[in-house]
């Protein structure tokens, strides 16, 4: 029986909607087109008493993408300096990784660059400058990035908690004179003097009493290890909270939150927080990395309360990561982390030349991996895509570091974290030695560096190569 044209169209439209999401997306468009503009930004953090603080940023508060849906992101650089954007934690083609000088040329002022990829992992990530990074990150050139799960996870609300510290001068402007201070670079990095949450001073996150909330916490600071306390816990009320994801990757089973939550720069946690039904008004969220706890944000608890969730949260749907299980490693290499203040570094190779400490400092270098300061010509290792790699990271310095692997998630034997958790960034205390394990992913040149970004600038960066 021949269908009339109108009926056929109706039927075609119906079956298109019934297709699985991925296939549907491919039929409808090659890639959702998004424009991102890099531009100066003003923040009136201190009311009328000061001129607004001028930062660099992107033209939105957050970027939301959908798992398995291709995107084409046109990045327009309207800043006075060249830059590039790194999609921190996303497992995408090496050519899209956004490392200027390694995977792409920097985007010059007035120019644009198109990033094309399909995020295969859902979760909490971020986008940030990866060119002249210690300056551009300090100016605020980053954006939280959420990749939404294909199936909705049941919570009442989804919140961001993006922590950052800014170094401002007495006019409440960025203290640019302090950039590049070698004393700070050789110690814990450049710390700010103003804490913001979601680029605001003391914002209020509105929640209903009794509601279940997803809280995505990101440390966007250059170097400060953030410790968020009492995100939900109060001395007087039994607040239930769980960690459900680390660095974007879901935990196999949610674990109970323990106060405080400690994040090296670039680390992320997804939490499920049940706001007690008997809370109301303002409840502080403290940052406790210094001697004095500081209320960086507030829950603004609204009544009437919603139905209370008594059940423990379920795990987020797993991302398509490889299972490492007990597979024997195909590669096993050492990464000796050296240098910094009181580190006893005598010499290191910089740009193929062996140098003493005094000469290194003249080149703004003071840290090294395996005796080499900054990016070596030769990779730390070369692995075939699919190989299992083990790196022994030995923090032979007097400082903590936040080690980040580009384009890959890894597991670790660090006793700071529960076993089996996936990371793209790892906090390592001084003297700590850990083994990280991962499967080599997409071909290309991938960085390993400290995400205390002054440490990276001053030498703590290397790379590994994945071949097809
Ligand atoms: Cu470091």
User: Distance from the CA of 163 to the center of ligand 1, in angstroms?
Assistant: 18
Q: Which residues contact 327 (CB under 8 A, 6 or more apart)?
A: 388
Written as six digits, the tokens of 417 are 């974290």
**pLDDT of 170-215, one tens digit each?**
999 999 999 999 999 999 999 999 999 999 999 999 999 999 999 9
Q: Which residues contact 364 (CB under 8 A, 6 or more apart)?
A: 180, 182, 185, 457, 458
Mean of the per-residue pLDDT values of the chain: 91
CA dist., res. 165 & res. 161, Å (int):
13
The number of helices, as runs of H, and strands, as runs of E, in the chain is 6, 32
User: Distance from the CA of 218 to the center of ligand 1, in angstroms?
Assistant: 18
CA dist., res. 156 & res. 160, Å (int):
14
CA dist., res. 104 & res. 384, Å (int):
22
Could you name the CATH architecture of 331-467? Answer: Sandwich (2.60)
User: Distance from the CA of 129 to the center of ligand 1, in angstroms?
Assistant: 18
**pLDDT of 20-61, one tens digit each?**
333 333 444 467 999 999 999 999 999 999 999 999 999 999
Q: By percentage, how much of the chain surpasses pLDDT 90?
A: 80
Whether the pLDDT of residue 231 is over 90: the answer is no
User: Distance from the CA of 450 to the center of ligand 1, in angstroms?
Assistant: 5
Domain with CATH 2.60.40.420 in the chain: 31-148, 157-302, 331-467
CA dist., res. 359 & res. 22, Å (int):
55
**Residue 421 pLDDT grade (very low, low, confident, very high; cuts 50, 70, 90):** very high
User: Distance from the CA of 185 to the center of ligand 1, in angstroms?
Assistant: 9
Instruction: Give CATH for domain 31-148.
Output: 2.60.40.420
Whether the pLDDT of residue 407 is over 80: the answer is yes
**pLDDT of 315-370, one tens digit each?**
999 999 988 877 899 999 999 999 999 998 999 999 999 999 999 999 999 999 99
Q: Which residues hold their Cβ within 5 A of ligand 1, which is an ion? A: 401, 450, 452, 455
Which CATH class for the 157-302 domain? mainly beta
CA dist., res. 243 & res. 232, Å (int):
12
């Amino acid at each position: 029986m021949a269908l009339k044209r109108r009926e056929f169209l109706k039927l075609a439209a119906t079956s298109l909607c019934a297709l699985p999401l991925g296939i549907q997306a491919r039929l409808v468009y090659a890639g959702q087109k998004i424009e991102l503009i890099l531009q100066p930004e003003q923040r009136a953090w201190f009311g009328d008493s000061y001129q607004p603080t001028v930062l660099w940023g992107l033209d939105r508060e957050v970027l939301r993408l959908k798992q398995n849906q291709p995107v084409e992101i046109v990045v327009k650089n309207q800043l006075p300096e060249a830059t590039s954007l790194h999609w921190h934690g996303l497992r995408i083609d090496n050519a899209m990784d956004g490392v200027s000088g390694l995977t792409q040329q920097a985007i010059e002022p007035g120019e644009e660059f198109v990033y094309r990829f399909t995020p295969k992992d859902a979760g909490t990530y971020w986008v940030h400058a990866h060119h002249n990074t210690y300056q551009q990150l300090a100016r605020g050139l980053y954006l939280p990035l959420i990749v939404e799960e294909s199936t909705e996870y049941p919570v009442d609300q989804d919140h961001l908690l993006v922590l950052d510290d800014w170094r401002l001068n007495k006019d409440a402007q960025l203290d640019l004179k302090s950039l590049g201070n070698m004393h700070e670079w050789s110690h814990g990095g450049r710390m700010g003097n103003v804490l913001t949450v979601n680029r605001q001073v003391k914002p209020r996150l509105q929640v209903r009493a009794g509601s279940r909330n997803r809280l995505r916490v990101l440390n966007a600071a250059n170097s400060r290890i953030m410790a968020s306390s009492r995100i939900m816990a109060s001395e007087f009320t039994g607040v239930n909270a769980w960690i459900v994801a680390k660095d974007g990757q879901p935990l196999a089973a949610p674990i109970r939150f323990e106060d405080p939550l400690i994040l090296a720069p670039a680390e992320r946690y997804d939490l499920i927080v049940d706001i007690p039904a008997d809370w109301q008004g303002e409840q502080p969220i403290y940052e406790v990395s210094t001697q004095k706890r500081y209320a960086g944000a507030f829950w603004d608890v609204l009544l009437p309360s919603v139905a209370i969730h008594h059940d423990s949260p379920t795990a987020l749907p797993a991302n398509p990561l490889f299972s490492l299980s007990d597979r024997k490693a195909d590669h096993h290499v050492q990464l000796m982390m050296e240098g910094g203040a009181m580190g006893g570094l005598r010499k290191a190779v910089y740009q193929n030349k062996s140098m003493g400490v005094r000469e290194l400092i003249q080149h703004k270098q003071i840290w090294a991996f395996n005796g080499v300061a900054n990016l070596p010509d030769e990779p730390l290792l070369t692995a075939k895509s699919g190989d299992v790699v083990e790196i022994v990271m030995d923090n032979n310095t007097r400082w903590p570091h936040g080690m980040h692997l580009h384009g890959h998630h890894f597991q670790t034997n660090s006793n700071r974290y529960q076993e089996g958790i996936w990371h793209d960034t790892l906090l390592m205390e001084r003297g700590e030695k850990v083994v990280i394990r991962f499967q080599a992913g997409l071909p290309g040149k991938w960085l390993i560096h400290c995400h205390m970004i002054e440490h990276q600038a001053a030498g703590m960066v290397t790379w590994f190569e994945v071949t097809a």
